[in-house]
Amino acid sequence: DVKVTQSSRYLVKRTGEKVFLECVQDMDHENMFWYRQDPGLGLRLIYFSYDVKMKEKGDIPEGYSVSREKKERFSLILESASTNQTSMYLCASSLPPGWAQPQHFGDGTRLSIL
């Protein structure tokens, strides 16, 4: 079974802090994704990566950056956290090609920015 592990289930940070969300997958998947999920808005793609050191902007990349130094790890960075970034963050991974393969999700991180 694919295991996608997110570093924290719940996280509380303050406005202006730099926040790191970590995601690790154990199935040697090339593709990794970061989403946020908000009531009424569904899942929205922030960034994704098809390979080590590669990254692509999703639909809402503003205020975020990512890092993929190793194949199994994909980090999401909130450069200067703001209250509108309070959300549920979900990491996912998949085999290539991304358009044909289902994604496997981590448990999610509920992030609150105060």
Partner 1 sequence: RKEVEQDPGPFNVPEGATVAFNCTYSNSASQSFFWYRQDCRKEPKLLMSVYSSGNEDGRFTAQLNRASQYISLLIRDSKLSDSATYLCVVTYNQGGKLIFGQGTELSVKP
- Contacts to partner 1 by CB under 8 A: 31, 33, 40-43, 45, 48, 50, 56, 58, 90, 96-100, 102-108
How far apart, in whole angstroms, are the C-alpha atoms of residue 40 and residue 42? 6
**Locus of tokens 């303050």:** 14
Amino acid at 69: E
What contacts 101, CB < 8 A, 6 or more positions away?
31, 94, 95
The residue among 17 and 60 lying less far from partner 1, judged by its C-beta, is 60
- Smallest gap from Cβ 5 to partner 1, in A, equals 11
The residue among 75 and 103 lying less far from partner 1, judged by its C-beta, is 103
- Smallest gap from Cβ 69 to partner 1, in A, equals 21
The residue among 16 and 97 lying less far from partner 1, judged by its C-beta, is 97
- Smallest gap from Cβ 68 to partner 1, in A, equals 16
Backbone angles phi, psi at 101, to 5 degrees: -110, 140
- Smallest gap from Cβ 3 to partner 1, in A, equals 12
Which of 81, 73, 36, 83 has the alpha carbon at shortest distance from 52?
A: 73
